[in-house]
Amino acid sequence: MIEQALFAFLQADPNVTALVGPRIFPAEAAQGQPFPRLTYKRVHTDEEYDLQENTNQPLVTLELSCWVKSGQAYSDVHNLANTVRFSRGPAYGTPTAPRLCEFRGLMAGLCFVQASHLVDLDDEPLAPADAGEKGIQRVALTFEFALDMQSTLPSLSSDEIVYDDFGGAVGTLLPAHNIGPVNLIDTAWVATGIAGFSSLQIGADNVAVGSATGENGNFMNVQNANVTITAPFTWSSGDQYAYVFFRVQDANDRYLVVLDGTHATLFVVVGGNATQLEQYNAPLSNGVTYTGVLACSGSTVTFTVNGTQIFNYTTLADFLTATMFGVGGYRSGAAPQTAIGPVLVQT
């Protein structure tokens, strides 16, 4: 499974494919395949045992070889090796996407990696595969991957890209929390940057709650402007508001839905100035858990609660390509009250 995950991971980085195209092969490339190219193979597996049984957490060593043809500069093969070493998976280009040499998490949606690191770099020449490949240059990168074969992948449909069940230590702020068990785009929660807003934190029973009295919330970049966000929430009448942020360009340019227990109000914020677009009836009862679903498609946003459509607004005009979304709320008392989660993102 780690081999398939590595293959998908490398294919997802445009910097890698810009150099080798589709030429990423298991074990050996067939004779006559053009250069440059990559090959990968498993060279060793250490099974881990405790006092009772196999822990299903093997340490796998993979060798990933970078090949360039005769006539290319020696620096070319090292450029390819460095590109591979620091490659990023499906969320390439975002600061939170983990690099191959330090990967932790669900690799390409296929394999749970507890840790990875580069253990050796070898650039000694090897014998060519055939007479037509004399003078080829090769750098071999040896990686160790600590795997977790006990973790089971959730049942995903093809459109599910993020599922955060807010597992982790109670009190952890969301930007310091690892999204999981599904994070196929390797995104992360970030601070909103909105004046006066605190971050949400992990609460008891795997939910997100306010970390401070007043406004709380966080965004994540979901890499797509047209997504559906599903988030159960338990409403507390002691709080004033719950929020769903969507099509967020930055702290001062965004849309949001505000729930106050009686209404759902749709706002657009441009240059820091909020304008109410519409207000709809949306009564909520204290202590009751609801499932909110917000779906964006082009200029249309639809919001439902427990399967009942609250609104279908069809004339969005701003930030149609913005890809950040988020959740939040107003914590009125000393203890967190309205709770949110888990959060599911689908394309």
pLDDT at residue 74, as a whole number: 74
pLDDT confidence of residue 55: 59
pLDDT at 157: 52
Q: With CA atoms as reference, report the closest residue to 249 among 272, 281, 278.
A: 272
- Per-residue confidence (pLDDT) for residue 228, from 0 to 100: 94
Equal fold, 2-147 vs 160-346 = no
**Predicted pLDDT at 205:** 78
**What's the half-sphere exposure (Cβ side, CA atoms, 13 Å) at 314?**
1
Domain boundaries defined on the chain: 2-147, 160-346
DSSP per residue over 135-159, as a string? T-EEEEEEEEEEE-SSS------TT
Sign of CA dihedral 169, 171, 177, 183: positive
**Is domain 2-147 given the CATH code 3.30.70 in the classification?**
yes
Classify domain 160-346 at the CATH class level.
Answer: mainly beta
Mean pLDDT, 10 residues at a time, the chain of 347 residues: 87 89 88 88 81 69 88 80 84 55 76 85 65 72 84 56 87 91 86 94 88 93 94 87 95 96 96 96 92 95 94 96 94 80 91
**pLDDT one-digit tens code per residue, 272-331:** 999 999 999 999 999 888 999 999 999 999 999 988 999 999 999 999 999 999 999 988
Pairing of β 308-313 and β 189-191 = unpaired
Cα–Cα distances in Å, from 267 out to 136, 203, 278? 61, 28, 7
